[in-house]
Amino acid sequence: MANRLATEYVKTCLQLTEAEMISFIQMFVDQGASLQVKVLENGNQEVVLPDDSEEEINLSFERKNNLYICQGTCRIRNKDLVNLMRKAVSTYKGDAVVNRIYPAYTMEYTYKQGAVVKIVEKTSQSDKLIYEYKDTLGELQTLFLKNEVEQEIVSLKAQVNSLLDLRNELQDVSLREHIDERLQKLTHRLFVLEA
């Protein structure tokens, strides 16, 4: 198995309530991560995590409408921190584009609402789609709710009934022949739709 060099959170968006913010910090503390929490002006917070490369990972949370919003990028080399960050994105239903960087390739994971929706293997020569979430149930439900055909059938039946009533009232043979031609076309269309 290839040795991962780093994990890069290219686009990250977490939106936490105050209780979730406390839980987020506690999750890192519970796993033994040493961190600093800086409370800034306007209630903004910055979570600082030391990484293996002697660099610090800064997660800035801006307070807006009783939510703490973290948007940004960071590169993490410590495997424990990588796992904690993945767990945080999943637990708090975050959106992110995450690059797991290996010597010969990069695996790009796209998260929506905390779930992986796409995985792409990227090399210098090409991109290869590994996984993409398909909402089959949602697509089937949308298809099931489509009822244009049923509506057309109801409309055609109403037209047929109306033309039959008109045909029965008319004495003129040429008009009846015209109505018969129209009825033939409508019944053929009904046959096609109901088949």
Domain boundary residue among 88, 116, 133?
133
Tokens matching residue 103: 């010597």
Is the same domain home to 12 and 99? yes
Q: Residue 1's pLDDT band (boundaries 50, 70, 90)? A: low
Q: Tell me the pLDDT of the chain averaged across its residues.
A: 90
What pLDDT is attached to residue 145?
78
Pairing of the two strands 127-132 and 115-122: antiparallel
Tell me, yes or no, whether 25 and 79 share the same domain.
Answer: yes
Region 106-126 average pLDDT:
95
Q: Are 80 and 31 in contact (CB under 8 A)?
A: yes
Q: Out of 55-64, 86-95, 120-129, 147-156, pick the least confident.
A: 147-156
Do 145 and 129 lie in a common domain?
no
- Orientation angle between helical segments 148-169 and 173-194, nearest 10 degrees: 160
Q: How confident is the model at residue 8 (pLDDT cuts 50, 70, 90)?
A: very high
- Angle formed at CA 44 by CA 38 and CA 51, multiple of 5 degrees: 45
Q: What angle do the packed helices 18-30 and 79-91 form, to 10 degrees?
A: 150
Residue 109 shares a structural domain with residue 159: no
pLDDT at 149 over 80: yes
DSSP 8-state assignment for residue 3: P
Last residue of a domain, one of 133, 159, 174: 133
Q: Are residues 106 and 49 in the same domain?
A: yes
72 and 156 inside one domain: no
CATH of residue 76's domain is 3.30.160.110
Distance of CA 166 to the CA centre of its chain: 54
Same domain assignment for residues 160 and 107 = no
Asked whether residue 121 falls in the same domain as residue 153, the answer is: no
Q: Look at residue 1 and tell me if it is in a domain.
A: no
Prediction pTM value: 0.68
Give 13's contacts (C-beta < 8 A, 6+ positions apart). 69, 70, 71, 94, 95, 96
Q: Are residues 48 and 82 in the same domain?
A: yes
Q: Indicate if the pLDDT at residue 67 is higher than 90.
A: yes
Pick from 95, 115, 133: which residue ends a domain? 133
When divided into structural domains, the chain yields a total of 2
Q: How many angstroms separate the CA atoms of 117 and 133, rounded?
A: 5
> pLDDT > 70: what percent of the chain?
98
Let me know if residue 19 belongs to a domain.
yes
Distance CA 46, CA 60 (A): 4
pLDDT value at residue 53: 67
Q: pLDDT digits over 165-177, tens only?
A: 988 888 888 888 8
Q: What percent of the chain is predicted at pLDDT more than 90? A: 57
Do residues 109 and 188 share a domain?
no
**Does a structural domain hold residue 147?**
yes
Instruction: Note whether 119 and 157 are same-domain residues.
Output: no
Range of the domain at 172: 141-194
**What is the rounded distance in angstroms from the CA atom of residue 113 to the CA atom of residue 117?**
9
pLDDT digits (tens, 9 = 90+) for 9-53: 999 999 999 999 999 999 999 988 888 999 988 889 999 998 876
Same domain, 145 and 180: yes
Q: Give the pLDDT confidence score for residue 151 in this predicted structure.
A: 86
CA 30/CA 76 separation, integer angstroms? 19
